[in-house]
A = this chain, B = another copy of it.
Amino acid sequence: MSKINNFGIIGGDKRQVAMAESIAADGYNVYVSGIDKINFYNGVVKCNISELLSKSEYIILPLPATKDNVTINAPYSNEKIYLNNQLAKELKEKIMFCGMKSKLIKTSKYWNEALIYDYFERSEFSIKNAIPTAEGAIEIAMREYPSTIHGSNCLVAGFGRIGKVLSNMLKGMGANVTVSARKNEDLTWIELAGYKSIKTSEIYKTKNYDIIFNTIPSMIFDAHVLALSAESSLVIDLASLPGGVDFEAAQRLGIKSIQALSLPGKVAPKAAGEIIKTTIYNIIEEEFE
């Protein structure tokens, strides 16, 4: 990797904590600000922002960089760190990495002058994140479903990244897996992989699923589809907001349904931190070496 050896990490949750320790374990100098409440081991150095800026060439912001559009997303910080023009002016001299850049750049005009790489946009990030998401979904299913995944009838709605990884894991555990997709090409791949296939638009025609996992970010499971297909199912919605399940209708129908958001950071912060680190390393390798 590049000759630059100093990483500054500002804010973040358990994923950034794990990432900081993992980068330090690779032999780099790691400085952190805004994660005060955590005790690091492995040689990660806590310091204030000006010290961090004076020592680091690479700056890593959280995912998302901000939640309130005013301060850095820093749940383990004792103080708020404001994303104002002053900070932006200092940071724009650095090589920056953040998640969901579009939120960050609204906080100051100076970000437009900065070199900011969005690791959240990278394909290896979203593909690999499908793993902790799928495992988180299975963990929820195990906890809530009173029988075993092995032998259960599962419907996975959608054959994108999460759908692919999740259906493969469910099959690996011995479930009977049906997968839905819109495109004929995907339906052919679904069958080749050994799953039953169904058109997403025809989900309402089938039922008797023990567990339904939705991965499609649009309203697939409305009251009508829930009533026809999910009567005796556990429904887990993995799609990002606004999601794909009508939870009010589910409640009315007596269908147990769970909205599962941001699983990687919750169920596997260490894995999620590794994924962010690897993505940043890849960007550095492509751009600076």
Contacts and interface: CB of A to CB of B under 8 A. Distances in A.
Interface of A: 14, 18, 123-124, 127-128, 130-132, 135-136, 138-139, 142-143, 145-151, 165, 168-169, 171-174, 184-185, 188-189, 192-194, 267-271, 274, 282
Given A131-B174, A132-B148, 6 more contacts: A123-B185, A127-B189, A131-B151, A135-B148, A142-B267, A172-B173
Contact of A271 (B14, B143, B147): B147
Pick the 9 closest A-B CB pairs, nearest first: A172-B172, A147-B270, A147-B271, A146-B270, A123-B185, A139-B142, A148-B271, A124-B188, A127-B188
Contacts of A169: 150, 172-174
Interface of chain A, main secondary structure: helix
Nearest to A127: B188
A42 to B, nearest CB: 13
Contacts of A124: 184-185, 188
Given A124-B185, A173-B135, A173-B172, A165 B192 contact: yes
20 contacts: A18-B146, A124-B184, A128-B188, A130-B192, A131-B150, A131-B151, A135-B142, A135-B173, A138-B142, A142-B267, A146-B268, A146-B270, A147-B270, A147-B271, A147-B274, A148-B271, A151-B271, A165-B192, A169-B172, A174-B192
